[in-house]
Structure 1
Amino acid sequence: MRSHTDGGRERAIVETAASATDEPGAAGEDEFRVDVERIRFSPYFSRLSAVTQVIPQAGSGTTVHNRLTHSLKVSAVARSIAVGFRDAPDDVRATIERLGGCDPVVVQAAAAAHDLGHPPFGHLGEQVLDRVARTKLGLPDGFEGNAQTFRILTALDSCDATPRGLNLTKAVRAAVLKYPWTRNEWRALPPQSAELLPRGVGADSASGAQKFSAYSIEALEMADALEAFPAIGQYQQTVECSVMDIADDIAYSVHDLDDFYRAGVLQYTAVSAELNGWMNAQGALGILDAAELRAGVALRRPGYALEAAWRHTRAKDAWIADPDRFRQSVIRVIDDLVEGLLTIPYDGGLEADRAVSAFTRRWIDRLKASIRVEATPNVRSGHVRLSSHAWHDVVVLKFVHTRFVLDRSDLAVYQRGQARVIETLAEGLHLWLDDPDDSARAPRRLLDSIEAATIEYRELRANAPEFYSAVGLESSDADIARFGRSRAVVDYIASFTDAQAISVAALISGTSDNLWESGRSL
Structure 2
Amino acid sequence: MTTDAQRRVTEPVKDAGGGRSPYERDRARVLHSAAFRRLAAKTQVHTAGTDDFLRTRLTHSLEVAQIAREMGARLGCDPDVVDTAGLAHDLGHPPFGHNGEAALDTVAAACGGFEGNAQTLRVLTRLEAKVYDADGTSVGLNLTRACLDAVSKYPWPRRPGRRKFGVYADDRPVFDWLRQGAPPGERRCLEAQVMDWADDVAYSVHDVEDGIHGGYLTLGLLLADADERAALCADVAATYSGEPPDYLGQVLMEVLADPLLAPLAGYDGSHRAQAALKATTSVLTGRFVADAVAATTARFGPGPHRRYAADLVVPRSLRARCALLKGIALRYVMRRPGAQGRYQRQQEIITDLVRVLTDQAPEALDPVFAPLWHAAPDDAGRLRVVVDQVASLTDPAALAWHARLVD
Which TM-score tier does this pair reach, normalised by the shorter chain? 0.7 to 0.9
Query: Which one-letter code corresponds to 2:251 in the other structure?
Result: S
Partner of 1:114: 89
1:150 partnered with 2:121: yes
Whether the 8 Å contact between 1:367 and 1:390 is mirrored in structure 2 is yes
RMSD of aligned residue pairs (Cα, Å): 2.7
Whether the 8 Å contact between 1:170 and 1:228 is mirrored in structure 2 is no
In the TM superposition, what are the counterparts of 1:216-231 in structure 2 within 5 Å? 216-229=169-182
Query: Cα deviation per residue 1:69-95 (whole Å; 9 max; x = unaligned)?
Result: 000000000011011114xxxxxxxxx
Using the TM superposition, give the Cα deviation of residue 133 of structure 1 relative to its aligned residue in structure 2, in angstroms.
1.0
2:242 to 317, 328, 336: 317
Partner of 2:73: 83
Report the identity percentage: 32
In the TM superposition, what are the counterparts of 1:94-173 in structure 2 within 5 Å? 102-134=77-109, 138-139=110-111, 141-159=112-130, 163-173=138-148
TM-score, scaled to structure 2: 0.87
SS at the partner of 2:330?
Answer: helix
Partner of 2:381: 484
SS at the partner of 2:108?
Answer: helix
Whether the 8 Å contact between 2:48 and 2:395 is mirrored in structure 1 is no
Query: Which one-letter code corresponds to 1:171 in the other structure?
Result: A
Partner of 1:305: 231
Using the TM superposition, give the Cα deviation of residue 446 of structure 1 relative to its aligned residue in structure 2, in angstroms.
3.1
Whether the 8 Å contact between 1:268 and 1:338 is mirrored in structure 2 is no
Distance 1:311 1:264, change over 3 A: closer
SS at the partner of 1:302?
Answer: helix
Q: 2: CA distance between counterparts of 1:313 and 1:148? A: 22
Unaligned runs of 5+ in 1: 13-24, 87-101, 188-203, 278-300, 376-381, 434-438, 455-479, 512-522
2:347 to 419, 422, 426: 419
Partner of 1:249: 200
1:340 partnered with 2:262: yes
Distance 1:343 1:215, change over 3 A: same
Whether the 8 Å contact between 1:178 and 1:241 is mirrored in structure 2 is yes
Query: Which one-letter code corresponds to 1:166 in the other structure?
Result: L
Using the TM superposition, give the Cα deviation of residue 441 of structure 1 relative to its aligned residue in structure 2, in angstroms.
6.0
TM-score, scaled to structure 1: 0.69
Using the TM superposition, give the Cα deviation of residue 388 of structure 1 relative to its aligned residue in structure 2, in angstroms.
1.7
Q: 2: CA distance between counterparts of 1:446 and 1:313? A: 35
Q: 2: CA distance between counterparts of 1:346 and 1:336? A: 20
Using the TM superposition, give the Cα deviation of residue 55 of structure 1 relative to its aligned residue in structure 2, in angstroms.
1.2
Q: 2: CA distance between counterparts of 1:350 and 1:104? A: 34
Distance 1:336 1:11, change over 3 A: farther
Q: 2: CA distance between counterparts of 1:68 and 1:336? A: 31
Partner of 1:409: 337
1:428 partnered with 2:349: no
Q: 1: CA distance between counterparts of 2:275 and 2:264? A: 13
Query: Which one-letter code corresponds to 1:369 in the other structure?
Result: A
Q: 1: CA distance between counterparts of 2:242 and 2:19? A: 38
Whether the 8 Å contact between 2:264 and 2:276 is mirrored in structure 1 is no
Query: Which one-letter code corresponds to 2:370 in the other structure?
Result: L
Partner of 1:460: none
In the TM superposition, what are the counterparts of 1:254-403 in structure 2 within 5 Å? 254-274=205-225, 277=226, 301-309=227-235, 312=238, 317=242, 326-336=248-258, 340-347=262-269, 349-371=270-292, 372-373=295-296, 383-403=311-331
Q: 1: CA distance between counterparts of 2:277 and 2:107? A: 39
Q: Which moved more, 1:33-42 or 1:388-397?
A: 388-397
Whether the 8 Å contact between 1:11 and 1:169 is mirrored in structure 2 is no
Whether the 8 Å contact between 1:40 and 1:112 is mirrored in structure 2 is yes
Whether the 8 Å contact between 1:4 and 1:228 is mirrored in structure 2 is no
Using the TM superposition, give the Cα deviation of residue 218 of structure 1 relative to its aligned residue in structure 2, in angstroms.
1.1
Bigger Rg over Cα: 1
Unaligned runs of 5+ in 2: 301-309
Distance 1:444 1:152, change over 3 A: same
Query: Cα deviation per residue 1:120-154 (whole Å; 9 max; x = unaligned)?
Result: 001100011111111xxx21x21110000000100
SS at the partner of 2:313?
Answer: strand
Partner of 2:3: 2
Distance 1:50 1:3, change over 3 A: closer
Query: Which one-letter code corresponds to 1:115 in the other structure?
Result: D
SS at the partner of 1:303?
Answer: helix
Q: 1: CA distance between counterparts of 2:391 and 2:192? A: 23
Q: 1: CA distance between counterparts of 2:268 and 2:344? A: 29
SS at the partner of 1:9?
Answer: coil
Whether the 8 Å contact between 1:246 and 1:385 is mirrored in structure 2 is no
Partner of 1:463: none
Q: Which moved more, 1:31-40 or 1:258-267?
A: 258-267
Whether the 8 Å contact between 2:234 and 2:245 is mirrored in structure 1 is no
Query: Which one-letter code corresponds to 1:500 in the other structure?
Result: A
Greater relative CO (CA pairs within 8 A, separation 6+)? 2
Distance 1:340 1:11, change over 3 A: farther
